[in-house]
Amino acid sequence: MTKHDQKVVSQQHSVQTRDIAFAVCLKVQKDHAFSNLLLPAVLEKSSCTAHEKAYITDLVYGTLRWQGFCDAVIAANMKRSLSQLDTPVLIILRLATYQALFMATPDYAVASTYVLLAKKQGLSRQAKFINAILRKIVMRSRQEWESILVSRIPKDHSNERLAVRYSHPLWIVNKLSESVNYINQRLQQEKNTPLLSLPDILAMDNQPPTVSLALRPGILSEKDLHQQIPHRAKIQKGEWSPYAYHVKGISPNLLPGITNGSIGVEDEGSQLAALTLACAPLPVPMHEDRWLDLCAGPGGKTAILASIARQRGITVTANEISAHRADLVRQNIRQLRETITQITVRDGRDYSPEKDGLFDRILVDAPCSGLGVLRRRPEARWTKTEEDVHELTLLQQQLLETAITLLKPGGLLAYVTCSPVLEETVTIVDSVCHRHQQIERYDTVQALHRVCPHIPVASHGDVQLFTEPHHTDMMFISLLTRHA
């Protein structure tokens, strides 16, 4: 192949990568599609090389994460508001801005490539406008644009500055700030314990998450896992969960253990939530025979609970309100069918009253805002609203109330959310404990330390994990017990 032919092929690949990135971002914007589901499906059907797929993934997820920052840069170079732009034009400008400021692409290539993309999408009339805006944007670096944008915000508006700098909606920065301040008040009472840093947490929110595998305890050994990992891939033991392994350089779906259900894909924070409940000693030692996962879908935590229950001769009931998600639970626990005695499909708030006081351990992995998993769902920060949080708190409270009636005296209940928002976490637990004198907090930190003794958290009370310093999703875990 001549150099000319190689250049032509390279240009074709370049056009294809941007076409795919544009199509995915447009569908996410217009149809509210989930990028973490849409993009892998699109790439699987494409003829792209592994390198091109990695490039597209960076371009799409990066553009979605840094959408707020990119929009601010674009707006700074326009005489009209962003709301006046057609959606396809705005998507093209966002992609080009991210590529120019974050991916070290030559300035001339950014403008020419995206003008070509605009024309290909039937936007010839807007091509001149797109070119003019991009020519202005590439004149400065990301750091220069950050300084310009932040300098326009008063110094005493620190959260507004952080919102622009780290590309988060202001209301989310405010919620995270409240949670960080709450935890830091606890940490200040302890010696030699570093305080949490809100900027570090926001920065980590913009980093791609690692792929975390979860072994099913008693189903697959570490040696068996290593035999499934090809030599080109990298595997590393997890930081906190004894069953966690981080992998790079391979799609998890290609592993036989994923196919047969002996391995799951589960963030370490989620693994710790299930393990903390399963490994904590009951306040009153007693024979255990039944556990419940009240909101089981998609079943990753269910499988961890069932794996441990299997080793102890205990059965597990899984419940999920959605039939589709109940099917996902069935797929996740297919190696554990003798332990999962029943998968019910019903609203957890109306779980059968004849089962009152039946279960020794109950997991309530409550539906929540999902603000703790923004690394994995990059567009969610722009689609969620503060009103969503308020609407979910009633549901969370009702699910927890129901779970209390299903718990045996002396048993343990874990209330878990993938959110650090105080209204969805501490406030919910405080409210339930206040209304029910027979319910009290169990020391969740001490229970967690049975699983991983060295994880940096406060000495006592509920557990709140953060992207930094824990490098996990921001999981909240609170164990409760019921007196006789």
Q: What amino acid positions are annotated as catalytic residues? A: 418
* Cis status of the peptide bond prior to 298, with omega within 30 of 0: yes
* d(C-alpha 445, C-alpha 455), whole Å: 10
Angle at 112 between CA 109 and CA 118, to 5 degrees: 130
* d(C-alpha 268, C-alpha 209), whole Å: 11
Is residue 167 within 8 A of residue 65, CB to CB? The reply is: yes
* Cis status of the peptide bond prior to 469, with omega within 30 of 0: yes
C-beta neighbour count of 452 within 10 angstroms: 18
* d(C-alpha 462, C-alpha 110), whole Å: 48
Rounded to an integer, what is the distance from CA 334 to the centroid of its chain?
Answer: 25
Is residue 319 within 8 A of residue 296, CB to CB? The reply is: yes
Tokens at residue 36, please? 């973490």
* Partners of residue 479 on adjacent β-strands: 414
Residues in the chain, overall count: 484
Is residue 243 within 8 A of residue 304, CB to CB? The reply is: yes
Tokens at residue 86, please? 């057609």
Rounded to an integer, what is the distance from CA 367 to the centroid of its chain?
Answer: 13
Rounded to an integer, what is the distance from CA 395 to the centroid of its chain?
Answer: 21
C-beta neighbour count of 10 within 10 angstroms: 10
- In sequence order, which residues have a C-beta less than 8 Å from that of residue 269 and are 6 or more positions away? 372, 418, 465, 470, 472, 473, 474, 475
* Partners of residue 265 on adjacent β-strands: 213
Q: Quick one: which of 320, 295, 303, 266 has its CA closest to 413?
A: 295
* d(C-alpha 59, C-alpha 102), whole Å: 9
End-to-end CA distance of the chain: 80
- In sequence order, which residues have a C-beta less than 8 Å from that of residue 348 and are 6 or more positions away? 294, 295, 319, 321, 364, 399, 402, 403
Q: Quick one: which of 444, 460, 433, 389 has its CA closest to 187?
A: 460
Write out the H or E segment, with its range, that includes residue 440.
strand 439-441
